[in-house]
Structure 1
Amino acid sequence: MSQEKYIGMDVHQASISVAVMDARGKLIMECLLETKAATILEFMQGLRGTLALTFEEGTSAAWLHDLLKPHVSRLVVCDPRKNALLKDGNKSDRVDARKLAELLRTNQVKPVYHGKHGTRALKELRRSYLTITKDVTRVMNRIKAVYRSWAIPCAGTSVYTPRHRAEWLAKLVEPGVRIRAEHLYQQLDSLQPVRLEARGELLLESRKHAAVKLLRQIPSIGPIRAALLVALLQTPHRFRTKRQLWAYSGFAVEIHDSGEYRSVRGKLQRNRERITVRGLNDNHNKDVKSLFKVLLYLPAHAPVPGMIFM
């Protein structure tokens, strides 16, 4: 008798719904666990046989992956966008856990890559740097939006500099608008030092990775982009072929075709005049694609050669 067990977990902040199936698809156990390491490990240690486990990618996925990896023979963190079965029929935590176990048993889950601990620190610092950079950009856009809403031209970067700030604030006649702009300037002043600190920590951590030095040899790739690429891709060995890397980066060509053949004198022949719609794949990592797009754009548009290195 097969001792294989397939475990589906529907993970939430406070609780985890668990369903366990055998190799024949029979539901042999269901339970509700508190989202605590001790409780989860106690449950896993009570199971016998060859264990296969799956749960969806989410906020707690990295923590749960590291916690349970040593206790199962197979662990799949699956892509929730590919789990079409979860959208069909009734939906609840209990039902979703059952469906995840069934998808794992029938090998229909799409895995999400979780790398080794070697790049974990760089990944977290990359996330911190990009988040703070987006916050700075958002505040800068809001500052310009204040001036544009009062028909005040504000092209360039002088609107952000502290030495021209009093001059720009004087153009705002309405007191409430001026106070709003002052608050935005305070946000900008508090975020910019944090961004510089996050940038320095990212560069310091990136020096520990040999791949960063290799990427720096490529034109248009400076220390920041090299660190971001290593943090995003982690290792090239996760891709079986270069075409998988293209798809992950959003540069894979999708072909949508129909009616390829027609009957001519009783024989099927390929239709040479068929209409083929081509486009780039939508399912990709947006951060990786934006990096590669900048690398293609900068060499042709940088006014000074040294400006393309960032």
Structure 2
Amino acid sequence: MDDTIYNHYIAIDWAASNMAIARMTKKSNKITVIDVPSDIEELKLYLDRLKGTKVLTLEETTTSQWLYTELKEKVDKIVVCDPHRNKLLNDGPKNDKIDASKLVQLLRAGLLKEIFHTNDNFLLLRRLVSGYEDLVKAGVRLKNQRYSLLKACGNQEVVGENAFVLGCLNRQIGLYEEEKSAYEKEFLRLAKKYPAIRHQKSLPGIGDINAVKVVARVVSPFRFADKGHYCSYAGLIKHEKISGKKSYGKRTPRYCRQLKDVYKTGVSAAIGGNNPINDYYEYLVAGGEPEYDARHKACRRLATLSLGVFKSGEKYQPYKRSRQTDNVTVK
């Protein structure tokens, strides 16, 4: 949240049947709340009638991206907030009007944690990636069921009802393989279309699918102030808990599991190859680092390089710095 003072502070609790709208102004602490049937056009008219600067907030839900897109031009700023951080909403009685009232108080006090939303095309890639991951999970489940059935039959000829079930599983797995192949072709097409995806592919251990996952999840690398914030978002660092100058261990932050999986699998693919990530890993191991810690540090190195490539808009060039140094030396 920024320190800008707005004329109107608006919070919306949106549901399929009704919408509760709470409003405060910069001049008054009085909260005005209305609860009316959900209607996006009526909501737009309500916002148009408010004169002066407006900031609007709503909680992250399945409809938040749609509301963000529909209302973005009607207000000066939209804050899609993290519901896990809004503990005030859990206190006392609860209904839509009360939730909206509490939410607008948090908005005016600057106590909301904003969740990134945009109309960027890269955000639409998340649906594609989500569909692919759901498909893979379903395919793994089918293959596990087939494996269990064959093992239960002693890996011998399957007959009777078991043969019928096996035939159904084989047909479903065949369809899964076709759909998976179609997704992979689409990922390859996107890699050719978007330079940002091609640049991610230039990193060690990052292929077509993982490159699309990084771009789809990050969308804009400039929303991260530095590599520390990015590694925290990717779940590659822990936050230390300190009170009274005493440490109470470390806590894993809420993070993007998709990104963590990308960098962990990327490092696993890079280790053993001829690339800077493997060189860094072997350097750490040779220096006495346990293999687990060395892999984890290599993940952070890969994530840092990934963020840098995204921000620079160029492909990864591992020896660019050393060549520049050689040129300076020659001069």
Residues 14-163 of structure 1 aligned to structure 2 (within 5 Å): 14-23=17-26, 24-34=28-38, 36-148=39-151, 150=152, 152=154
Q: Judge conservation of contact 2:239–2:253 (CA < 8 Å) in 1.
A: no
Q: 1:10 to 1:31 in 2, by over 3 A?
A: same
Query: Aligned match of 1:278 in 236, 250, 255?
Result: 250
Q: How far apart, in 1, do the equivalents of 2:208 and 2:120 lie?
A: 22
Match of residue 306 from structure 2: none
Q: TM-score normalised to the size of structure 2?
A: 0.74
Aligned length: 268
Q: Judge conservation of contact 2:213–2:258 (CA < 8 Å) in 1.
A: no
CA positional deviation for 1:297: 1.9
Q: How far apart, in 2, do the equivalents of 1:203 and 1:13 lie?
A: 38
Q: 1:119 to 1:151 in 2, by over 3 A?
A: same
Q: 1:144 to 1:109 in 2, by over 3 A?
A: same
Query: Aligned match of 2:209 in 224, 249, 268?
Result: 224
Unpaired stretches in structure 2, ≥5 consecutive residues? 274-331
Query: Aligned match of 1:294 in 265, 270, 279?
Result: 265
Structure 2 letter corresponding to 1:214: H
Q: How far apart, in 2, do the equivalents of 1:92 and 1:144 lie?
A: 49
State the secondary structure of the residue aligned to 2:80. Answer: strand
Alignment deviations for residues 101-151 of structure 1 (CA, whole Å, 9 cap, x no partner): 111111111000013323133233222222222222222222223334x27
Q: How far apart, in 1, do the equivalents of 2:128 and 2:184 lie?
A: 9
Q: 1:275 to 1:88 in 2, by over 3 A?
A: closer
Q: 1:147 to 1:250 in 2, by over 3 A?
A: same
Query: Aligned match of 1:189 in 174, 178, 193?
Result: 174
Query: Aligned match of 1:241 in 226, 229, 248?
Result: 226
State the secondary structure of the residue aligned to 1:26. Answer: strand
Q: TM-score normalised to the size of structure 1?
A: 0.78
Q: 1:151 to 1:275 in 2, by over 3 A?
A: farther
Structure 1 letter corresponding to 2:112: V
Tell me the percent identity.
26
Q: How far apart, in 1, do the equivalents of 2:6 and 2:237 lie?
A: 41
Alignment deviations for residues 25-81 of structure 1 (CA, whole Å, 9 cap, x no partner): 2112413231x4323322322333321110011111111101101110111000111
Could you say which structure has the higher helix fraction? 2
Structure 2 letter corresponding to 1:192: E
Q: 1:258 to 1:51 in 2, by over 3 A?
A: closer
Q: 1:213 to 1:142 in 2, by over 3 A?
A: same
Query: Aligned match of 1:251 in 223, 236, 245?
Result: 236
Unpaired stretches in structure 1, ≥5 consecutive residues? 154-167, 261-273, 303-310
CA positional deviation for 1:95: 1.1
Q: Judge conservation of contact 1:33–1:40 (CA < 8 Å) in 2.
A: no
Q: Which runs of 4+ in 1 moved over 4 A?
A: none
CA positional deviation for 1:276: 5.1
Q: How far apart, in 2, do the equivalents of 1:223 and 1:251 lie?
A: 22
Q: Judge conservation of contact 2:57–2:81 (CA < 8 Å) in 1.
A: yes
Query: Aligned match of 1:206 in 187, 191, 201?
Result: 191
Alignment deviations for residues 171-228 of structure 1 (CA, whole Å, 9 cap, x no partner): 3x5x334333332222222222122212222321232222222222211112221111
Q: How far apart, in 2, do the equivalents of 1:104 and 1:152 lie?
A: 63
Structure 1 letter corresponding to 2:64: A
Q: 1:181 to 1:27 in 2, by over 3 A?
A: same
State the secondary structure of the residue aligned to 2:71. Answer: helix
Q: 1:13 to 1:187 in 2, by over 3 A?
A: farther
Q: How far apart, in 2, do the equivalents of 1:152 and 1:53 lie?
A: 62
